[in-house]
Amino acid sequence: MKPLQAMVVICVFIMIFGLSKNLKTREKDKYILSVMGETIAQISNKQPVIIASLRQSPNCDKIAFYANRYYEGAPCPLQLSDFVTPCANNYSKLVHEIHNYNADYFLWEDHYWPDDWFDFNSQYRKNEFLPIMRSKQNGKDTLVLYQYIGQSKTSEMNGSRYQ
């Protein structure tokens, strides 16, 4: 085999094997996000929902897309949220910000959660958040979707926002 042909064969093998690994990971992530969104759509009876995350998150945007895609109106496609500064590592402030944001769901993401903050997954209050779905990697939670069921959310669900 000539050196040029050998080089081409090696490059093709590198591209095939390297690219296939990257595509599989992304497809798995996309699948998890779509399942989370579809689950929200079923829970909300295909009504528009707002999903909050600690920081602006492409995962949150994708879940919101799948959750709101059956809604016949026009929900806001880009939901901006950044609660790091106003919350300042305080659970009560985080809940307050989520409530003021009018969020129906909260997406906890491992890579966005500051290391020196409280452990939300072990400290959330069951009368405020209901875990809906988890995504694990190597036995560790990477994404956890919570439904926000704070005190006044249940009365709002029957209000004009959802009609």
In this predicted model, what pLDDT tens digit does every residue of 115-162 receive, in sequence order?
889 888 888 999 999 999 998 877 777 899 999 998 555 444 443 333
The pTM (predicted TM-score) of the whole model is 0.73
CB 109 within 8 A of CB 54: yes
The answer on pLDDT for 2 being more than 70 is yes
The amino acid sitting at 132 is I
Interior CA angle at 133 toward 128 and 38, to 5°? 105
Residues of the domain holding 139: 3-162
- Provide the mean pLDDT of the chain: 80
Q: Count the domains in the chain.
A: 1
Q: Compute the average pLDDT of residues 70-99.
A: 79
Could you tell me which residue, 149 or 12, shows the higher pLDDT?
149
